[in-house]
Structure 1
Amino acid sequence: MRHLSAEAKGSSFWDRVRQSIGPARVEGFIDVVSRLTGAVARAMFVVLLICTPSLLLPGVTQDTTQMVVLIGLFAGLVTLIEYGSTYPCLIEFRNAPPFNRVRFLSLFVTVFLLSIIFRGLYEPTTLTRFVQAVGHLVGYVIDFPYSPVRLIMLLVPDQTNVEHMNLMRSAVGLSYLVSLLTLAVFLIVLRVLGWPNRTQAFNFWTNLPTFDPTMGVDVVTRLNRDARFNIALGFFLPFLTPAVARSASGLFNASMMDSPQTLVWMISIWAFLPASLFMRGIAMNRIADMIDEKRMRGARAVAAGLLPA
């Protein structure tokens, strides 16, 4: 049996499969139309996400509305270009659903629910009271010493009235619950659906456009290292963000309750970003395992004389 070094196995692996894992697939006319249609739909959903707080919250000024529309159109244009082009530049896991769908749905649900909560300040309805009650219950349960919710609540000024304090606790608790449910859904997708689909090609150019597998140390080592970094950062970020915000004087004050749009986005990003980093780390670890498995199969095939060395 021929002995293969790790470096030789790695180079022969990338020479054979270039930058994709799995069988190659040629894109046809129907695929192009489907990709462009999907890009337009995704761009519209992104615009809707950006505009959701302005649509649900009352008292939005005309200048704020114009700025939100401009930001939404820009984000939609970037999404359209990224998903409409053959090879994206920024968005990762474009051709590995439902990774980005889970992330987008998580952020949209968070923004929508927080907008409903803060809408209750001005126009209380049965829906706003129900969402506030659920958020208050969740916030009360996970508001224990040194928890992320407790650290965020410590940023609220002492002169804030009880109603606004309860509203903040509801928003923070509900957003954190959505982030935990997002991770649970993604883990279910990994286990049940076997993400990413091993019967299809996994192309590094379209799914990890900022990751060059041909540079640096062994690609599996780099993927595992990046995975550990993302998971660690996702774990510590909910605890570090309040500390950084506390050091920034004036970031949280009593007047913040007069700007519910700002609170919606700040709390949403605080809850969404750690979950997104967790998902990215888990995904990169799964891809590293796929590459390792393919290398082992290739090495066994070479040893059995089924493939040329």
Structure 2
Amino acid sequence: MDLTVIWAGIIGFAVFAYVVMDGFDLGIGILFPRFAVGEERDQAMNSIAPVWDGNETWLVLGGGGLFAAFPLAYAVILPATYPLIIAMLLGLVFRGVAFEFRWRDPRHRAFWDRAFFAGSLVAALAQGMVLGAMLQGIEVADRAYAGSWWDWLTPYTLLTGLGTVAGYALLGSTWLIWKTEGSCQQRARRLALIAAVTTLVLMGAVSLANLALDPDYRTRWLALPDLALAAPVPVLTAILAGVLLGDLARRQREARPFFLSLGLFLAGTLGIGITIWPYAVPDALTIWDTAAPERSQVFMLVGVALTLPLILAYTAWAYWIFRGKVGTHGYH
């Protein structure tokens, strides 16, 4: 355990927090066309209205932390995924603009609803493909990106992109089960079961593809002593999946499916960590190869120690204040 490992943990936590918090926002956008125009769509929008923009704080912390603590990793990963990063940011912009303008421009609400869906879908797909581009490996020469503009576009990255879209749809639908009522909740239950099955199938497909992708990945998952560390993750995933599918099939629970979905994402995150550790750029640069000087890490750690509790506090406060059910006109 050293400063570099601590910073890897901070950035990993920030990325995970962004994925699960902004993930259900994007998931609602992905599912938006499946909800009826009017009350159902208004309920879905109102359920995330108080928190969606604050959730993106974690994206800033994760990206900024990567730039500050692991500048070489930032300098390699971004050029390798520029088209995806641009697409993601444009998607988030369209999603945010559409969110606000659908209320202020009712004459063109149908257009803004489509923009909300498209922006959410593009952002989610791009995020999953960035993950796939990292896992499949980035060509590095002389500590710089040495690949082409299109290296990120492969069947594997499309698979991880679709898996992320399905996972976000699962988070969004289970969030709506918890936060809405009436026809919106019933529709969310039906969509959640479809999203859960799709997510689990794609998680399994990505896991199998990883074993064929890199011999080191197979070693970390199938050979001792690494197998002893890795084995609990698929077991945990199977347990969470079984309970989640049971809850969605029985249609009795409201809050628990959402937290079980978060558990699936946590298991997936742990699996990714086991797969690539200790590399920041798999099979090319370790976290220590890409880390900033120790003094810089110490200086930034002081700042994070002051700001991270504040971020956690105001995030928790916002979710506590808006902890009830949402109706057509907001929380009640």
TM-score of the aligned structures, taking structure 2 as reference length: 0.33
Higher helix share: 2
Larger CA Rg, structure 1 vs 2: 1
TM-score of the aligned structures, taking structure 1 as reference length: 0.35
